[in-house]
Amino acid sequence: DAGVIQSPRHEVTEMGQEVTLRCKPISGHNSLFWYRQTMMRGLELLIYFNNNVPIDDSGMPEDRFSAKMPNASFSTLKIQPSEPRDSAVYFCASREVGTDTQYFGPGTRLTVL
């Protein structure tokens, strides 16, 4: 099994640009989570999908952030427009139905200049 796949692994962009992060969960997993990690705030849950449906997006910082899961094998997190304070590592994680364990992807390190 390839595990959770994220792309790109690194992204450097300028303030105001649109950024799209991508995630492919482990095959057969029906829950998907997007997290943001910074030194100051630790690991924060941004949004959580179950069976492709957003269940809890209370962690999404503001309207500049949006997430979609068009099918069971793909999700995107978009930031438009990006700001320097969005610089962080963004992790995607997935979980199999009926279990508790979340498996994390390698993360995307985002730098907004």
Partner 1 sequence: GENVEQHPSTLSVQEGDSAVIKCTYSDSASNYFPWYKQELGKRPQLIIDIRSNVGEKKDQRIAVTLNKTAKHFSLHITETQPEDSAVYFCAASIGGYSTLTFGKGTMLLVSP
55 binds partner 1 (CB under 8 A): yes
Provide, rounded to whole angstroms, the least separation between the CB of residue 15 and partner 1: 25
Sheet with 65-71, strands from edge to edge, namely: 5-7, 19-24, 74-79, 65-71
**CB under 8 A: which stretch of 15-23, 64-72, 77-85, 102-110 binds partner 1?**
102-110
45 binds partner 1 (CB under 8 A): yes
**Window 5-34: residues binding partner 1 (CB under 8 A):** 31, 33
Amino acid at 55: I
Q: CA of 82: how far to CAs of 5, 30, 38, 66, 68, in Å?
A: 23, 29, 16, 12, 17
Q: Which two tokens stand for residue 10?
A: 């690194």
* Nearer of residues 42 and 70 to partner 1, judged by Cβ: 42
Provide, rounded to whole angstroms, the least separation between the CB of residue 50 and partner 1: 6
Integer Cα distance of 41 and 20 in angstroms: 22
Applying CB under 8 A, which residues contact partner 1? 31, 33, 42-43, 45, 48, 50, 55-56, 91, 100-107
